[in-house]
Chains A and B, each alone.
Chain A
Amino acid sequence: SQQGEEDPQALSIQEGENATMNCSYKTSINNLQWYRQNSGRGLVHLILIRSNEREKHSGRLRVTLDTSKKSSSLLITASRAADTASYFCATVPNSGNTPLVFGKGTRLSVIA
């Protein structure tokens, strides 16, 4: 069963605007990761945030984690057409040695 749920399912913005995607999960986690997938390609790891961290930055990416609400957000600032892709959150559950569990993804379209 899927652990993460991204919101919104699809997002369309103008170039230069900020894009915010949210992820909610159900069980306690070890860490949460965000991945990007260009159309027809494999996924690429973007950023990881551990359960004891609240915010993390990487270039134009900003990730927050609220373990009390079991949610995370990914902010892409000053978006570019090249940011057009699907974005997935993935969690590492605390229970057992289980693989990453991916959400359903947010499809981001950045219009030039």
Chain B
Amino acid sequence: EADIYQTPRYLVIGTGKKITLECSQTMGHDKMYWYQQDPGMELHLIHYSYGVNSTEKGDLSSESTVSRIRTEHFPLTLESARPSHTSQYLCASSPLGSRFSGNTIYFGEGSWLTVV
């Protein structure tokens, strides 16, 4: 089992609310990621970070923002939630390593967000 934790696991909030999804890992991994996944569908990378104070946008445009102030912590924030943000959000991490060594990713259990 990977030591990567997401909270909350399930959240129902109203439109316009600000929410932060928390993600922490205890493996000392430099790389962290946020993926968005609708039920039964593919994963879309929305943000990633290769270290403290480093953040990048992923392939899927997202209205969310992230921060990486500490190695172990990579929170995702939605300033004003909308029903279109309803989805599962998966946090993941991987060691820095070399590209050839694998970049195996370890996932959290996910946060299910419903915006009503």
Interface of A toward B, CB cutoff 8 Å: 1-2, 30-31, 33, 35, 40-45, 48, 50, 86, 88, 90, 92, 97, 99-105, 107
Q: Say whether A103 contacts B42, CB under 8 Å.
A: yes
Q: Say whether A88 contacts B104, CB under 8 Å.
A: no
Residue of B nearest to A30 (CB): B99
Q: Say whether A45 contacts B43, CB under 8 Å.
A: no
A88 to B42: give the CA distance in the assembly, Å: 9
Interface residues on B, range: 20 to 34
Given contacts A30-B100, A43-B107, A97-B99, contact A88 B40 (CB under 8 A): no
Q: Say whether B43 contacts A42, CB under 8 Å.
A: no
Q: Say whether A42 contacts B99, CB under 8 Å.
A: no
User: Which of chain B's residues 39-94 have a Cβ closer than 8 Å to chain A?
Assistant: 40-43, 45, 48, 50, 58-59, 88, 90, 92
Q: Mark B16-42, 1 if CB is under 8 A from A, else 0.
A: 000000000000000101010000111
Interface of B toward A, CB cutoff 8 Å: 31, 33, 35, 40-43, 45, 48, 50, 58-59, 88, 90, 92, 99-100, 102-110, 112
Choose from A31, A33, A44 the contact partner of B107 (Cβ within 8 Å).
Answer: A44
The secondary-structure label for the interface of chain A is strand
The winner among A33, A35, A45, A48 for most chain B CB atoms within 10 A is A45
A40 to B10: give the CA distance in the assembly, Å: 11
A102 to B88: give the CA distance in the assembly, Å: 16
Residue of A nearest to B90 (CB): A42
Q: Say whether A31 contacts B42, CB under 8 Å.
A: no
A105 to B44: give the CA distance in the assembly, Å: 12
Residues of B within 8 A of A40 (CB): 88, 110, 112
A42 to B91: give the CA distance in the assembly, Å: 9
Q: Say whether A104 contacts B105, CB under 8 Å.
A: no
Q: In whole Å, how far is A29's beta carbon from the nearest beta carbon of chain B?
A: 10
Choose from A30, A33, A97, A104 the contact partner of B104 (Cβ within 8 Å).
Answer: A33
Residues of A within 8 A of B45 (CB): 99, 101
Q: Say whether B41 contacts A104, CB under 8 Å.
A: yes
Some 25 contacts from A to B, beta carbons below 8 A apart, are A1-B59, A2-B42, A31-B103, A33-B102, A33-B104, A35-B105, A40-B110, A40-B112, A41-B109, A41-B110, A42-B110, A43-B105, A43-B107, A45-B105, A45-B106, A88-B43, A97-B50, A97-B99, A99-B31, A99-B33, A100-B103, A100-B105, A102-B42, A102-B43, A105-B42
